[in-house]
Amino acid sequence: MNLDTEKLESLLGTMVNELGAAANAALVFTGDRLGLYRAMADGKPVTSQQLAGKTGTHERLVREWLSSQAASGFVTYDTREGTFALSPEQAAVFADENSVVNMTGGFHSLAAVFADQQSLEQAFRTGKGVGWSDRCNCLFCGVERFFRPGYRANLISSWLPALDGVAQKLERGARVADVGCGHGASTIIMAEAFPKSQFVGIDFHGPSIAHAKEHAKHLTNVRFETARAQDFAGKDFDLITMFDALHDMGDPAGATAHARKTLKPDGTLMLVEPMAGDSLGENLNPVGRVFYAFSTAVCVPASLNQEVAAALGAQAGEKRLSEVVRQGGFSRFRRAAETPFNMVLEARP
């Protein structure tokens, strides 16, 4: 075998970066769980001894953790003073739970991916998928924490206003079903913003619904129910939303058909889906790389575990999604808004 030295060195360099990224993913998860980032959120320089004292952790391990974070560029090291600090940008990404660019939730989801590796391997062998209820609990919290910053940044300010007349209906008072709501982050954000409207969050995963109910105790205009997307109760909704959920469903056409049946004649179906082009070539980029990875480990196995098993995947693309929505009985479909990570799709009867 003749190897091109230049190509080999480039690939090996990439692999070194990959190994460092994978190894440090576990340490980001650990740092978040132990409150190490949050203890540095004020930006003040600290030594490993000081950070260990603030967090009740072991200094020697904290010192090594700080070193790994500095080598990754996740914290800033002052070589003269021997101290570590978070810049405002680093704090926004790692320490501030309310930041719209907080990324730590993704690392919680990664922990679940590694914990469920044997189940995923078995799914590859059998094609039976991995049920949502069979996943490591880190996944449910991680999904909520990963998506919530984007919902907070865009849902009220730009996504809902981009839909035809929907924001005005919500201001006056509308009936809304949030299907596939998980822990209820999207439902709660909308309910808080539109107190005259009534919201029901729906998900087939009972433990997630129990979690959502706990988080919504302060609201009187929202409730949560455990039900499937294909046959949840209710009718005459003004708006039905599905946030990063349709592509995970085993029967997405059945879900959209039921949404069509339960909407008012002038109602709206809002889909928030991962940003994707309509072909693999269009998605060979850093964002597509993340979504394909999670789609392989989470989204497609979840769909394959269900009765119809459409297995759209997180990079289905607008064209394929439009076909599914039209199968459900909708005649109008358009992309209403987008971000680097999401596309917001509007369907009307």
CATH of the domain at 172: 3.40.50.150
Mean pLDDT of 150-163: 96
Mean pLDDT of 269-279: 97
Q: Based on the fold, state whether residues 189 and 41 are members of the same structural domain.
A: no
Q: What is the CATH number of the domain that holds 71?
A: 1.10.10.10
pLDDT, residue 315, reads 97
181-214 pLDDT, tens digit per residue, is: 999 999 999 999 999 999 999 999 999 999 999 9
How big is the chain by its Cα radius of gyration, in Å? 22
Length of the chain counted residue by residue: 349
- Closest to 24 (Cα-Cα) out of 83, 116, 87, 110: 110
Q: How far is CA 307 from CA 128, 250, 302, 310, 341, in A?
A: 10, 6, 11, 9, 29
Q: Based on the fold, state whether residues 92 and 48 are members of the same structural domain.
A: yes
**pLDDT grade for 79, boundaries at 50, 70 and 90:** very high
Listed residues 75, 96, 117: the one ending a domain: 96
Q: Based on the fold, state whether residues 48 and 148 are members of the same structural domain.
A: no
Instruction: Using CA atoms of 322, 325, 327, 332 in order, give the dihedral in degrees to the nearest 10.
Output: -80
**pLDDT grade for 80, boundaries at 50, 70 and 90:** very high
Six-digit token string for 104: 């730590």
pLDDT, residue 197, reads 98
Which run of H or of E encompasses 229?
Answer: none
pLDDT, residue 86, reads 98
- Structural domain of residue 53, as residue ranges? 5-96
Q: Based on the fold, state whether residues 36 and 170 are members of the same structural domain.
A: no
pLDDT, residue 138, reads 86
Q: Based on the fold, state whether residues 168 and 277 are members of the same structural domain.
A: yes
Q: Is residue 175 helix, strand or coil?
A: strand
Instruction: Using CA atoms of 322, 323, 328, 333 in order, give the dihedral in degrees to the nearest 10.
Output: 30
Q: Based on the fold, state whether residues 193 and 130 are members of the same structural domain.
A: yes
Alpha carbons 248 and 295: distance in angstroms, whole number: 9
Listed residues 96, 128, 157: the one ending a domain: 96
Alpha carbons 290 and 259: distance in angstroms, whole number: 29
Q: Based on the fold, state whether residues 229 and 339 are members of the same structural domain.
A: yes
Q: Based on the fold, state whether residues 56 and 181 are members of the same structural domain.
A: no
Mean pLDDT of 64-79: 98
Give 334's strand partners.
Answer: 346
26-35 pLDDT, tens digit per residue, is: 999 999 999 9
Q: Decide: 176 and 195 in contact? Cβ < 8 Å.
A: no
Give 201's strand partners.
Answer: 178, 224
Q: Based on the fold, state whether residues 125 and 171 are members of the same structural domain.
A: yes
Mean pLDDT of 93-114: 92
Per the prediction, the chain carries an average pLDDT of: 96
Q: Based on the fold, state whether residues 29 and 132 are members of the same structural domain.
A: no
Q: Based on the fold, state whether residues 287 and 206 are members of the same structural domain.
A: yes
pLDDT at 13 over 90: yes
pLDDT at 218 over 90: yes
Mean pLDDT of 121-140: 93
pLDDT, residue 33, reads 95
Q: Based on the fold, state whether residues 90 and 115 are members of the same structural domain.
A: no
**pLDDT grade for 1, boundaries at 50, 70 and 90:** confident
For the full predicted model, state whether its pTM sits above 0.85: yes
Listed residues 96, 131, 152: the one ending a domain: 96
Q: How many domains does the chain have?
A: 2
